[in-house]
């Protein structure tokens, strides 16, 4: 699933098959979203058997599926070597968003995030990234069925996408192919906790996804505690890299800061003013998404009350910083930001259907 059409050509070439077979297989896997060679009935039976001997079309298996009251679906999958992978399908009126994981677990130790408690288990391959999207679309619409509206992707599941940079970029290339899923980078947002060299690197990439940067605090003192990666790349360096990225944007394009709102921790009016001043000082025009904390045992935080979030937002806006409040999705099934930790939650039996 992680091979480009050109790489597939090499594989079929080595098997003594004509090049057009590569396109056929690529289309079968990515546009028709077939999950086994056996289903590719447009290939000679003998070729299907030879393919099945040397390759696999799918390596992820779905262990559980949870459906939230708001229609959000969380898939708990596992890799061939038994590591958990989580994917979230978020239906919206005019589009769907699929939130995928780039790593099993995560090496960063953000204090408010449940995934952090797993530690890093393993970085996912390009194929495992693409497969997550295929599995979610097949479950939502049926195998190979046309999707009724556009699909947006966010690399905001488990893991730090910029520590999975190569497989991530590889997967995005495969998914952009018009013969396959045809989800172009412009429909993808990659969220980072602030891996500065990769932000700079992405600034130089022409056909690239949108960028979101998780801030969570406007001072090094607080960010060191909430997001220890800040000790390696403190705010000054992070925001300088963000500025460089901003300068590479096309007219009208913007990038996003995410700010998780933790009750009594980072949500005061003083912090709001500091945040606005910080962004203004660095002359950043990025918008800020305020994300109320999604609580989860054993995280020692609570979501900020609504009035607090509104007051915080008003201060940012009064200082010329555009801010939006994000509505949490799928909290009841542990599908929301920062809640992905391979949990087998108990939900109403009729909603919990192993796939
Ligand atoms: N590692 C990447 C992407 C995954 S997290 C990153 O840090 O950006 C996606 C977003 O969810 C981040 O902005 C993160 O700060 C936020 N988040 C993490 N835990 C959360 C929680 N418990 N409640 C709300 N948002 C959370």
Whether 123 lines ligand 1, by a CB cut-off of 6 Å, is: no
Distance CA 31, CA 179 (A): 6
pLDDT over 60 (residue 171): yes
Q: In this predicted structure, what is the pLDDT of residue 346? A: 52
Instruction: Output the CA–CA distances (angstroms, integers) from residue 229 to 38, 41, 140, 232, in the order listed.
Output: 46, 50, 36, 5
Residue whose CB lies within 8 A of the most ligand 1 atoms, among 97, 225, 291, 294, for a mutation test:
291
Distance CA 104, CA 129 (A): 11
Q: Reply yes or no on whether 242 is catalytic.
A: no
Q: In this predicted structure, what is the pLDDT of residue 20? A: 95
Q: In this predicted structure, what is the pLDDT of residue 335? A: 77
Q: Provide the 8-state DSSP code for 60.
A: -
- Ligand 1 atom nearest to CA at 303: 23
Contact 241, 200 (CB under 8 A): yes
Please give the average per-residue pLDDT across 159-175, as a whole number: 98
pTM of the entire predicted model? 0.94
What is the residue with the minimal CA distance to atom 4 of ligand 1?
Answer: 156
Q: In this predicted structure, what is the pLDDT of residue 327? A: 83
pLDDT over 70 (residue 274): yes
Q: 281-293, pLDDT tens digit by residue?
A: 999 999 999 999 9
300 conformational bin, left if phi > 0, alpha if psi -120 to 50, beta if neither: alpha
% residues pLDDT > 70 (the chain): 97
Beta carbons within 8 Å of 242's beta carbon, 6+ residues apart: 199, 213, 255, 282, 284, 286
- Between CA 206 and CA 215, with CA 212 as vertex, the angle to 5 degrees is 140
Whether 293 lines ligand 1, by a CB cut-off of 6 Å, is: yes
Q: In this predicted structure, what is the pLDDT of residue 13? A: 96
Token readout for 320 is 């010329």
Token readout for 344 is 């087998």
Distance CA 149, CA 74 (A): 20
% residues pLDDT > 90 (the chain): 85
Distance CA 113, CA 94 (A): 29
Please give the average per-residue pLDDT across 32-59, as a whole number: 95
pLDDT over 90 (residue 353): no
Contact 151, 173 (CB under 8 A): no
Q: In this predicted structure, what is the pLDDT of residue 345? A: 63
What is the average pLDDT score of the chain? 93
What is the residue with the minimal CA distance to atom 11 of ligand 1?
Answer: 337
Q: 107-155, pLDDT tens digit by residue?
A: 999 999 999 999 999 999 999 999 999 999 999 999 988 888 899 999 9
Active-site position among 17, 86, 246, 258: 86
Q: 305-351, pLDDT tens digit by residue?
A: 999 999 999 999 999 999 999 988 888 878 778 777 777 765 433 33
């Amino acid at each position: 699933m992680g091979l480009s059409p050109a790489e597939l050509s090499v594989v079929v070439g080595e098997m003594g098959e004509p090049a057009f077979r590569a396109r056929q297989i690529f289309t079968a896997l990515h546009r028709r979203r077939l999950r086994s060679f056996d289903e590719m009935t447009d290939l000679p039976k003998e070729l299907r058997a030879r393919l099945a001997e040397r390759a696999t079309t799918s390596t992820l298996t779905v262990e559980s599926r949870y459906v939230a009251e708001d229609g959000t679906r969380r898939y708990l999958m596992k890799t061939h070597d038994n590591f958990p992978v989580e994917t979230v399908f978020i239906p919206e009126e005019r589009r769907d968003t699929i939130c995928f994981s780039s790593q099993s677990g995560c090496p960063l130790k953000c204090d408010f995030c449940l995934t952090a408690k797993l530690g890093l288990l393993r970085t996912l391959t390009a194929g495992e990234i693409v497969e997550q999207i295929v599995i979610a679309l097949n479950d939502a619409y049926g195998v190979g069925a046309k999707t009724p509206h556009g699909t947006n992707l966010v690399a905001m599941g488990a893991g730090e996408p910029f520590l999975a940079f190569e497989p991530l970029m590889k997967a995005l290339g495969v998914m952009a192919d018009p013969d396959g899923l045809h989800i172009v980078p412009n429909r993808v947002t990659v969220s980072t906790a602030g891996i500065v060299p990769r932000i700079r690197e992405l600034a130089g990439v022409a056909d690239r996804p949108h960028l979101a940067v998780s801030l969570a605090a406007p001072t090094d003192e607080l960010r060191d505690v909430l997001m220890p990666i800040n000790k390696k790349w403190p705010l000054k360096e992070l925001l300088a890299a963000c500025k460089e990225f901003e300068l590479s944007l096309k007219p009208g394009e913007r990038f996003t800061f995410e700010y998780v709102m933790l009750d009594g921790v980072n949500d005061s009016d003083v912090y709001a003013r500091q945040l606005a001043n910080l962004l203004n000082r660095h002359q950043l025009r990025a918008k800020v998404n305020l994300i109320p904390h999604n609580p989860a045992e054993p995280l020692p935080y609570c979501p900020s009350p609504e009035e607090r979030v509104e007051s915080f937002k008003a201060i940012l806006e009064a200082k010329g910083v555009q801010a939006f409040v994000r509505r949490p999705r799928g909290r009841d099934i542990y599908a929301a930001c920062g809640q992905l930790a391979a949990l087998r939650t108990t939900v109403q039996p009729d909603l919990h259907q192993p796939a």
